[in-house]
Structure 1
């Protein structure tokens, strides 16, 4: 949503309802679900290799923050990041693709 649209109360209400205005078609549509992203200055967590290291980082919308968010390695809490790190380790330890002929 454009900054100008965000300033209008009706667009904020639509956004809270999970909807958005499509100006090209002049219709209200269901908004695509977006993964959570911290606001500037807020903290988020990410997993670093080796997979037992969880780091807390401050969102600045820089190259690193964008890369982590786009890759999916971006979490609200340490517990959430740890859950995914544990699952990824489990998947790697049980991998079988390299054993196929």
Structure 2
């Protein structure tokens, strides 16, 4: 299916609009996943803790989703926690040249 998606004009058109076809649900959806109402999602807090929240489409949910700090699973969030830590520990922008 992946190969077809890359070559079929309809899938390329969807991609340009930030959309994709989900063969499991048989629906067109945004490329970035967002939970349905009351479905659980995960996010990383300011000290790298992982928390879950139920989607209610309020300003907190919107802010986390818009920032990209919004994950389908705890495992996915954990991968990003490790990457965030690595990036901050190796940061160079604040070092004097």
Instruction: With the length of structure 1 as denominator, give the TM-score of the two structures.
Output: 0.68
The yes-or-no answer on 1:39 pairing with 2:33 is: no
Gaps of at least 5 residues in structure 1 are 1-18, 21-28
Paired with 1:36 and 1:100, the residues of 2 have a C-alpha distance of 39
Paired with 2:50 and 2:73, the residues of 1 have a C-alpha distance of 10
Computing the radius of gyration from Cα coordinates, the structure with the larger value is 1
Secondary structure, counterpart of 2:94 in structure 1? helix
The yes-or-no answer on 1:92 pairing with 2:88 is: yes
Selected match of 2:67 from 71, 77, 98: 71
Superimposed CA distance per residue, residues 44-66 of structure 1 (whole angstroms, 9 cap, x where no aligned partner): 00000101x10010000000000
TM superposition outliers: structure 1 runs of 4+ over 4 Å: none
Instruction: Kindly tell me the number of residue pairs found equivalent between the two proteins.
Output: 75
